[in-house]
Structure 1
Amino acid sequence: MRIVAIIQARMGSTRLPGKILKKVNNRPLLSYQIERLQQSQYIDELVIATTIKQQDDLIVEFCKENSISYYRGSETDVLARYYEAASAFKADAIVRITSDCPIIDVQIVDLTIQHFIESNKFDYVSNTVERTYPRGLDTEIFSFAALKKAYNEALLERDREHVTAFFYSNPDVFSIGHIKNDKNYSKYRWTVDTEEDLELIRKIIQGLYNKNPQFTLQDTVNIMDKNPDWFYINAHIEQKKL
């Protein structure tokens, strides 16, 4: 089984434009995410799926400078962008990651992939539909066959924009698996969509990265516990609705 991780990325964020190339310790956030995902035991190739818009030339330049595979497609029909990228890179299964998750935990990514492989019965597995992990550690994996079905059949704008919404909106059509953590850490927000989010992620990276570049969920929880005021930096931020 050829597993391709596809990271959707664009510069045109409404709340924090250019967020994925914002720098912490003089490095773009996207580089931290890629470094972490490259440690996966299961991912065969990592692909950045960006858009054909001129402003996203910066992302392509980043990919070229760092020898990262990329694909350019529709800005709004992200489902089509994923399907085309998965086809181009001959994926049997696709790991979907969004580029606003710079401290994603590769152990959780691999746990999700492993469940998908070993169960051998699910079209789609995620740790997001029934959330127990912090926002920002989101991982989804699905078969190419499921992606192709969604690409051909999804009609709603929401389903085209959010790629996997068609799967969990149709549990009678797709077999869906869930990954849950023993403790519920869903209160934490470790994604980057606003300046406040960026401030928190900067503190986490500066506090943990130099000691261990592959710091984990538990490492991050521990440093949050030691700095309880950090939680309130972005606790008021609401996630955009689907």
Structure 2
Amino acid sequence: MKVVAIIQARCGSTRFPNKVFADLCGKPFIWHVVNRLKHACSLNHIVLATTESPLDDKLYNWAKENGVDVFRGSESNVLNRYYEAANYSKADVIVRITADDPFKEPLLIDEAVNKLQEKKYDFVCNNCPPSYPEGLDIEVFTKETLDREERFSTSDFEREHVTQYIYRNPEQFKMFNLSNNKNLSYLRWTVDTEKDFQMVTRIYLSLYKNDSEIFHMDDILQLLKEHPEIENINSDVARSEMYKSV
């Protein structure tokens, strides 16, 4: 069974243009997203799914130059881009990754993939309800589940946000939500704005060591305990809908 992480990424962000190439400890932001995934034992392959827009030629070329498999698809219909990228990579199980999240936790990815395979779930996540920091979201689903989404998702919202058909129709899927032993969903560890990036930079400057060794969620939590001011850097940035109520 082939498990593929599909990273949705583009250069045309409105709130923080070209953030995928923002310098983070001497490397492009997107490099760190990819590098962390390489530490997940459950993954067989990683694909960068970008758009056919000329704006993303630079991202496509970066992937090619750095040995990262890359697929180009629709800019607005992200669900179809995922569907076609999954077909392209011959994926049996898909791990959805957004290029906004430079702290993705390989241990969580492995836990979710193993749960899906062992219990034969259609969809495993950790944000329904959320109990992990925003930015450590995990969504793992079978190719059959993605096929069903591609067939039945009709609204623009569902097409833009990939997994919303599942959340809106839970009775159609065998689902499981991973819960943390402590609710940390008040923490924002994703990058949509320059304030978010300033917070991420502070953490990387403190914890990042080299290409082959990564830091984990517990390391970040310990740093925030010692330096609570870091957490406040982006505390006023608007949350995503899923985290607004927490």
TM-score (ref. length: structure 2): 0.95
Contact 1:23 1:29 in 2 (8 A): yes
**1:32-47 counterparts in 2 under 5 A?**
32-47=32-47
**In terms of mean alpha carbon deviation, does 207-216 or 217-226 score higher?**
207-216
Aligned-residue offset at 1:98: 0.3
Deviations 1:133-177 (A, max 9, x none): 101111111010110111011001110000000011101111111
Q: Which residue of 2 aligns with 1:236?
A: 236
CA distance in 1, matches of 2:97, 2:128: 14
Q: Which residue of 1 aligns with 2:182?
A: 183
- Percent identical: 37
Q: Which residue of 2 aligns with 1:209?
A: 208
Contact 1:33 1:99 in 2 (8 A): yes
Q: Is structure 2 residue 75 aligned with structure 1 residue 109?
A: no
The letter of the residue matching 2:56 is D
CA distance in 2, matches of 1:204, 1:38: 20
Deviations 1:32-73 (A, max 9, x none): 111110111111100000000001011111101110001000
Contact 1:168 1:176 in 2 (8 A): no
Structure 2 residue runs without a partner (length 5+): none
**1:52-201 counterparts in 2 under 5 A?**
52-120=52-120, 122-201=121-200
- Regions of 4+ moved over 3 Å: none
SS at match of 2:49: strand
Q: Which residue of 1 aligns with 2:7?
A: 7
SS at match of 1:172: helix
CA distance in 1, matches of 2:239, 2:57: 27
TM-score (ref. length: structure 1): 0.97
Q: Which residue of 2 aligns with 1:17?
A: 17
CA distance in 2, matches of 1:102, 1:38: 13
CA distance in 2, matches of 1:150, 1:105: 26
CA distance in 1, matches of 2:26, 2:230: 22
Contact 2:132 2:180 in 1 (8 A): yes
Aligned-residue offset at 1:31: 0.8
CA distance in 2, matches of 1:168, 1:241: 13
CA distance in 1, matches of 2:22, 2:157: 27
Contact 1:126 1:141 in 2 (8 A): yes
SS at match of 2:31: helix
Structure 1 residue runs without a partner (length 5+): none
Contact 2:42 2:109 in 1 (8 A): no
Contact 1:51 1:73 in 2 (8 A): yes
Aligned-residue offset at 1:240: 4.1
RMSD: 1.3
